[in-house]
Structure 1
Amino acid sequence: MTLIYGHRGARGEAPENTLASFQQCLEHGVQRCELDLHLSRDGELMVIHDPSLKRTTGRRGKVVEHDAADLAGYDARHGGPGWKQPCPIPRLVELFEKCPFEHWQLEVKSASRTRAARTVLAIQALAREHGLLERITVTSSSREVLRALLRLAPEIPRGLVAEYGWLDPLKVARQYDCSLLALKWTLCTPERVAKARQQGLHVSIWTVNDPALMKRLASLGVDSIITDFPGLALATLGESQG
């Protein structure tokens, strides 16, 4: 069975990486999600994709230049599907408390060594506090982040995000002892999927919004797809996602 992850919640239907988006994903019956994390100025884990506030909030400046209390008041529904109510940038703790996902892919973008370490330790502390260490995989394309995970939180499963083909993703995943490979769909070949699964990797393909592509990837034996339209994916690939 090919599992389904909602991409930034249900990004095609609700403002990405907001509580409304994750609730929409759950309402479809999709129990797994992917999201993006950045630290606020005062060290809280905020759920937002870009380092900059511009695209989703219309505000200037970077996430890291603002405290969590201020970020949590900024409306993040700009540039997404129409939505009547304001959608603040959520703290990760809020989603952990309100959204009972079975599994979370938490993507950490590239960071300096110091920032990678701070982010990893913050995830570790929050996941421990909420008893979710067994239900998260922290993913990244950044070697600094993967190194910090290995060094500081080896008990948290790691995943490599691979977007470009110029490095062998299987070799990099092995180097950092990853259990998951989040592979851009354009890099997905039958040979690569087979080799990754032989290596013991969970193969998760992003971002897959076309039903024909969903079916083709499922036929290749990928473990999961990440999609902006979790309801469509569920209708295409079958009802059971437990």
Structure 2
Amino acid sequence: MLIYGHRGARGEAPENTLASFDKALQAGVTRVELDLHLSADHQLMVIHDPTLQRTTGIRGKVARHTAEQLTRLDARLGLSGWEQPCPIPTLEQLFQAFPQFEHYQLEVKSGSRAQAGPVLEAIMQLVDRYQLQDKVVITSASRHLLRHARDTRCPLPTGLVEEHGILDPVKSALRYQCRFLALSWKLCTPARIAQAQRHGLHVSVWTVNDPGLMLKLRDMGVDSLITDVPQLAVTVLDS
């Protein structure tokens, strides 16, 4: 079973910062999941929330600031007690800093109908620039974004992020021609995982921090898990 570091190593360093991705790499985890929002000048910023307050202490929306302004902000409030400043990175800075990573789950948060096209175009340009076509999947809970990717024949694989399961997540993922299904662990059953895999979907489960749950999901046959604590996951799953 593959391991993805959630927002880098969210439980060990300030989330979605270069320090957090470095923590994942130090644990031997070379696959990461991260979140993307567009800045005011349509740069891809690695940050989870649409607002800045929780991780920087600054009021305001990500989309109202330029990339230059955002990269000057310190995002270490995501983990209390961290001593060194941690700027919000751009996706390009992440690609530049960590050529060692084998795969990225790029979760698009800014997936409104208006933003679907621009954010997909921005991702494709960066992926082409760094020749990462085989190392990226674009994931989202946004049906607008997944529909746009399908209808415009986006050349990069996509994945549905599903938390609530009100509709059948496997059928939904197939409707949008996804290749990944990123499930909340609460939605996981052996039957659902087997159903997804029969249809060719890679099942990636989040957010898994408990050792017992890691082992249970491995026994269910999930393809990968997403964890805040990559070092713990490596230890548990290698033992």
Normalised-by-shorter TM-score class: over 0.9
Superposition pairs of residues 14-33 of structure 1, within 5 angstroms: 14-33=13-32
User: Where do 4+ consecutive residues of structure 1 move more than 3 Å?
Assistant: none
* CA shift for structure 1 position 133: 1.2
Rounded to whole Å, the distance in 1 between the matches of 2:129 and 2:170 is 32
In the alignment, which residue of structure 1 is the partner of 2:231? 231
Query: Does structure 1 retain, via aligned residues, the 8 Å contact 2:36–2:110?
Result: no
Aligned-residue sequence identity (percent) comes to 58
Q: Give the aligned partner of residue 93 of structure 1.
A: 92
Q: SS of 1:78's equivalent? A: helix
Instruction: Write the mapping of 1:100-115 to structure 2, written as runs, cut at 5 A.
Output: 100-115=100-115
Q: Distance in 1 between matches of 2:152 and 2:232?
A: 38
Query: 2:24 is aligned with what amino acid?
Result: C
- What TM-score, normalized to structure 2? 0.97
1:45-101 CA distance string (max 9 Å, x none): 000000000100010110000000010000001141421110000000001011121
Measured on the aligned residues, the alpha-carbon RMSD in Å equals 1.1
Gaps of 5+ in 1: none
Where do 1:53-202 residues align within 5 Å? 53-99=52-98, 100-152=100-152, 154-202=154-202
What residue is the counterpart of 1:219 in the other structure? 219
Q: CA deviation at 1:110?
A: 4.8
1:124 and 1:153 in contact (8 A); partners too: no
The CA deviation at 1:139 is 0.2
Length-normalised TM-score, structure 1: 0.96
| Structure 2 residue runs without a partner (length 5+) | none
Q: For structure 1, which segment, 150-159 or 221-230, has the greater mean C-alpha deviation from structure 2 after superposition? A: 150-159
1:12 maps to 11
Q: Distance in 1 between matches of 2:108 and 2:153?
A: 14
1-structure distance, mates of 2:161, 2:115 = 19
